[in-house]
Amino acid sequence: MAFRKTRTRIEKEAKVQGWANVPDKTFHKAGITRAAATRLELGTGFKLVWPWDATYDKDRQEFDPAFQEYPLVVGFAETPADVAELLDFSRELSAPVPVVCRSGGHNTAGYSVVTDGIVIDMSLFNHVQIDPARRLATVGPGVTFAKLNAALNTNGLHVPGGECESVCVAGYMQGGGYGFTSREFGMNCDNVVRFTMMTYDSTGAHIAVASATENPRLFWAVRGGTGNNFGVLLDVTYQLYPLTTLWGFGIKWANLAAAPAALLMIQNRFSKVGASAKLGHLPVIMVQEKDTQASLGTYGLFNGTPLRDWPRSRACSQRRVLRSSSIRPTATRSSTRSSCQIRTCRPASRPFHLR
């Protein structure tokens, strides 16, 4: 078969030629030799970003700018073989360096970037494959909830997801994964029926399939066991639920003096015990937009028929049909009364997609 260089390979060769202008001390400062960096750059077919590259500051950045870390290299893996290349590389260096995975980069402790180590960016593993008949979805670790929810909405199916649409599946699922529908359908990780993970040991990289019957210990550990602990997630299969019609609501206690009693009530009657599992909500104390004082609000959804599933929701007077998956209620109008003001069934127009 004739060998023809891909555009990527041509670009990589040009990039390495450009390194002639990068002084040796720059490589040395980054903790790598010119030869080792050149070997990885030319020996792989995916994008690598080094400290001396123009896009380094953008590509090393976490979602939260509070975290400023300076990795040796960020690799945008496209295939499992690329992940294995990066893992091998971390061991081939004269002193092994730490490796972390990044899906959406939202880790609130900054665990998806590491100074002087290797970041395996999984954002290009973002496939979504839905089997509507069996109500299963197999997705890449780097798929955003924006993309996953859009794909699920087409099929009227749902899996609990996060509030922030740029969060990706891998970090969220391995951290448990709380969502507005978790009280009804469980944590995101509870809905994983199978996953594929690249593990690494003294003999190199291996691909493990895990489910209730295959590698059950790994299956147990990865669901909620936090990312970066057991291997590099390559795909996840979820069980899905039909979900198309929801009620949305917002309640605001504008006077913060009412908040302690309201929080006590939420704790005792609208969390672990009390409210129907079909109710999901997110209480928050903050200064709402256009307000000057902090207030308590809770914003959420109800997936049921009010009079049948939860008589208390009789206040609902108007029915809305919502696309279910991109669930992110926002604040409703403010109230100046110290008692709570209920604004039921008045979903904000943007986060909810009215059919």
Partner 1 sequence: MKRSAYIANPIDLAGWTAIVNYFETRPNNTNALFLEPYGGAISRQPAAANAFIHRDAYVDIYIDSFWFKDSDRAGAEAWLEVTDV
Residue 273 in contact with partner 1, rule: CB under 8 A: yes
Strands (E) located in the chain? 47-49, 73-76, 99-102, 118-121, 128-131, 136-139, 157-158, 192-201, 204-211, 232-239, 241-242, 247-253, 279-286, 295-302, 322-323, 341-344, 353-354
The stretch among 16-24, 69-77, 268-276, 346-354 that binds partner 1 (CB under 8 A) is 268-276
Question: Least distance in Å: CB of 128 to partner 1?
Answer: 23
Per-residue contact string for residues 106-145; x = within reach of partner 1 by CB under 8 A: --xx------------------------------------
- In this structure, what token pair is assigned to residue 5? 């260089």
Name which of 294 and 315 has its Cβ closer to partner 1: 294
Residue 222 in contact with partner 1, rule: CB under 8 A: yes
Q: How far is CA 36 from the centre of its chain?
A: 33
Question: Least distance in Å: CB of 74 to partner 1?
Answer: 23
Name which of 44 and 332 has its Cβ closer to partner 1: 332
174-207 in b/e form (b: 16+ CB < 10 A) is bbbbbbbbbbbbbbbbbbbebbbbbbbeeeebee
Residue 261 in contact with partner 1, rule: CB under 8 A: yes
Residue 190 in contact with partner 1, rule: CB under 8 A: yes
Range 287-306, binding partner 1 (CB under 8 A): 287, 294, 296
Name which of 103 and 188 has its Cβ closer to partner 1: 188
Question: Least distance in Å: CB of 187 to partner 1?
Answer: 6
Residue 221 in contact with partner 1, rule: CB under 8 A: yes
Residue 280 DSSP label = E
The stretch among 45-53, 87-95, 148-156, 267-275 that binds partner 1 (CB under 8 A) is 267-275
**Comparing C-alpha atoms, which of 269, 278, 280 is closest to residue 309?**
278
Under a CB-based contact definition with an 8 Å cutoff, are residues 38 and 19 in contact? yes
Residue 178 in contact with partner 1, rule: CB under 8 A: yes
Residue 252 in contact with partner 1, rule: CB under 8 A: no
Task: Give CA–CA dist 277/309, Å, rounded.
Answer: 10
What helix, strand, coil percent values describe the chain, rounded to 5? 30, 25, 45
CB atoms within 10 A of CB 348: 14
Contacting partner 1 (CB under 8 A), which of 207, 263, 342, 348?
A: 263
Residue 187 in contact with partner 1, rule: CB under 8 A: yes
Task: Give CA–CA dist 108/116, Å, rounded.
Answer: 20
Name which of 126 and 255 has its Cβ closer to partner 1: 255
Which residues on neighbouring strands pair with residue 336, listed in sequence order? Answer: none
Task: Give CA–CA dist 88/80, Å, rounded.
Answer: 12
**Amino acid at residue number 88:** D
Q: How many residues bind partner 1 (CB under 8 A)?
A: 49
The stretch among 89-97, 261-269, 313-321, 345-353 that binds partner 1 (CB under 8 A) is 261-269
Residue 193 in contact with partner 1, rule: CB under 8 A: no
Residue 184 in contact with partner 1, rule: CB under 8 A: yes
Contacting partner 1 (CB under 8 A), which of 284, 307, 315, 321?
A: 284
Name which of 208 and 221 has its Cβ closer to partner 1: 221
**Comparing C-alpha atoms, which of 244, 236, 238, 245 is closest to residue 154?**
244
Residue 260 in contact with partner 1, rule: CB under 8 A: yes
212 conformational bin, left if phi > 0, alpha if psi -120 to 50, beta if neither: alpha
**Residues in the site for partner 1, rule: CB under 8 A?**
64, 66, 108-109, 176, 178, 182-187, 189-190, 219-226, 256, 259-261, 263-264, 266-268, 270-277, 280-287, 294, 296
